[in-house]
Amino acid sequence: MKIQRAWAMPSENTFSIKPIKELIKKYIDPRKIIVDPFSRNSPFRSVSITNDINEAFEADYHMDALDFLKEMKEADLILFDPPYSPRQVSECYKNAGVSVNMQTTQASFWTNIKKEISRITVPGGICITFGWNSGGVGKKYGFKIIEILLVAHGGWHNDTICTVEEKI
């Protein structure tokens, strides 16, 4: 497993952060199926199947992420950049004009998303998870960590942890 550390200013558009963008570019192959269930303002929209619940963002679909993943058949690469906390979930849903419910802020919601990611990722496929921990999708769902990038944002900003996993 490769572990790297980088420094960059924080941004609500995770994929615009230079070291994160560079990490993703290493795994992008436009001939493969790339799925992004929380696309926001992704610079990789042109090479991926994108979803964002908020219709203000340009995406192929505007669905709840779990419903979106359930519609997918398979993927070679998943870019998994969900809201990192219940507060962020609430903000995303409210900004999209969608009511927040108990299901979307419970751990079981994230468990169900991980199950769907596992279902659609082909053997040898990659999932890159972004968040405040390195848990990723996890061994329980058939993934092994191959790379971690810690992006420190300085001061009191939380670091962004990018966990690259391969489906085994």
Q: What is the mean pLDDT of the chain?
A: 90
User: For residue 139, what pLDDT is reported?
Assistant: 97
Over range 133-153, report the average pLDDT: 97
Over range 132-153, report the average pLDDT: 96
Model pTM score: 0.91
Confidence of residue 119 (pLDDT cuts 50, 70, 90): very high
User: For residue 15, what pLDDT is reported?
Assistant: 95
> Would the pLDDT of 101 be above 70?
no
> Would the pLDDT of 104 be above 60?
no
CA distance linking residue 154 with residue 32, whole number of Å: 35
CA distance linking residue 127 with residue 143, whole number of Å: 8
User: For residue 95, what pLDDT is reported?
Assistant: 66
Answer yes or no: are the C-beta atoms of 109 and 64 closer than 8 Å. Answer: no
pLDDT tens digit sequence for 28-43: 999 999 999 999 889 9
User: For residue 93, what pLDDT is reported?
Assistant: 62
User: For residue 83, what pLDDT is reported?
Assistant: 80
User: For residue 87, what pLDDT is reported?
Assistant: 67
Would you list the domain boundaries of the chain?
2-81+113-167
Q: 57 or 109, which is more confident?
A: 57
Q: What is the CATH number of domain 2-81+113-167?
A: 3.40.50.150
What sign results for the dihedral spanned by CA atoms 38, 42, 47, 50? positive
